[in-house]
Amino acid sequence: MFYPYTARQARFIAIAQALAEKFAQRAAEHDREGTFPFENYADVRAVGLPALIVPEQYGGWGASLLETVMTMGALAVGDGSTALNVTMHMQTLGGAIEAQGWPAPLLEKVCRDAVDHGLLINSIATEPELGSPSRGGKPKTRAKPIYAVGEQPVAWVITGRKNFASMVPTLDYMIIPAVLDDGSEDVARFLVPQSDAIEIIETWDAMGMRTTGSHDIILHDVRVPHDYIIGRGSTDNPHQKSKPTANPWFALGVSAVYVGVAVAALQAAARYAKERVPTALGKPIAELEGIQRRLGQAELLIHQAHTHLYAAADLWERYPAQRVELSPTIIAAKYTATNNAIDAVDHCMRVVGGSSMTKHLPLERYYRDVRGGLSHPMNDDQALILFGKGALHEAGDAVTA
CA dihedral (263, 264, 269, 271) in degrees, to 10, reads 110
Note the pLDDT of residue 245. Answer: 62
In this predicted structure, the answer to whether residue 133 has a pLDDT above a threshold of 70 is: yes
The CATH number of the structural domain formed by 7-119 is 1.10.540.10
Nearest to 276 by CA among 263, 268, 286, 266: 286
HEC assignment per residue over the chain: CCCCCCHHHHHHHHHHHHHHHHHHHHHHHHHHHCCCCHHHHHHHHHCCHHHCCCCHHHCCCCCCHHHHHHHHHHHHCCCHHHHHHHHHHHHHHHHHHHHCCCCHHHHHHHHHHHHHHCCCEEECCCECCCECHHHCCCCCCEEEEEECCCCCEEEEEEEEEEEEECCHHHCCEEEEEEEECCCCCCEEEEEEECCCCEEEECCCCCCCCCCCCCEEEEEEEEEEEHHHEEEEECCCCHHHCCCCCCCHHHHHHHHHHHHHHHHHHHHHHHHHHHHCCCCCCCCCHHHCHHHHHHHHHHHHHHHHHHHHHHHHHHHHHHCHHHCCCCHHHHHHHHHHHHHHHHHHHHHHHHHHHHHHHCCCCCHHHHHHHHHHHHHCCCCHHHHHHHHHHHHHHHHHHHHHC
In this predicted structure, the answer to whether residue 47 has a pLDDT above a threshold of 70 is: yes
**What is the mean predicted confidence (pLDDT) over 290-319?**
97
The correct CATH number of 133-240 out of 3.10.20.30, 3.30.450.40, 3.40.50.1390, 2.40.110.10 is: 2.40.110.10
Nearest to 212 by CA among 377, 362, 89, 342: 89
Find the farthest-apart pair of alpha carbons in the chain and give their distance in angstroms, rounded: 86
Greater pLDDT, 239 or 146 = 146
In this predicted structure, the answer to whether residue 147 has a pLDDT above a threshold of 50 is: yes
CB 272 within 8 A of CB 351: yes
Residue 401's pLDDT band, with cuts at 50, 70 and 90, is: very low
In this predicted structure, the answer to whether residue 333 has a pLDDT above a threshold of 50 is: yes
**What is the mean predicted confidence (pLDDT) over 279-303?**
98
CB 42 within 8 A of CB 83: no
**What is the mean predicted confidence (pLDDT) over 264-278?**
98
In this predicted structure, the answer to whether residue 235 has a pLDDT above a threshold of 80 is: no
Distance of CA 349 to the CA centre of its chain: 25
Compute the distance between CA of residue 51 and CA of residue 112 in angstroms, rounded to an integer. 8
Note the pLDDT of residue 398. Answer: 62
Question: Could you give the percent of the chain with pLDDT greater than 90?
Answer: 89
Nearest to 376 by CA among 338, 326, 328, 327: 338
**What is the mean predicted confidence (pLDDT) over 352-370?**
97
Residue 46's pLDDT band, with cuts at 50, 70 and 90, is: very high
Instruction: Print burial letters for 187-208: b (CB count within 10 Å at least 16), e (below 16).
Output: bbbbbbebeeebebeeebeeeb
In this predicted structure, the answer to whether residue 240 has a pLDDT above a threshold of 90 is: no
Compute the distance between CA of residue 198 and CA of residue 179 in angstroms, rounded to an integer. 18
The CATH number of the structural domain formed by 248-400 is 1.20.140.10
CA of 296: how far to CAs of 22, 266, 302, 368, in Å?
28, 10, 10, 22
Note the pLDDT of residue 42. Answer: 98
pTM score, whole prediction? 0.94
Nearest to 158 by CA among 187, 128, 190: 190
Sequence spans of domains, the chain: 7-119, 133-240, 248-400
**What is the mean predicted confidence (pLDDT) over 88-110?**
96
Average pLDDT of the residues of the chain: 94
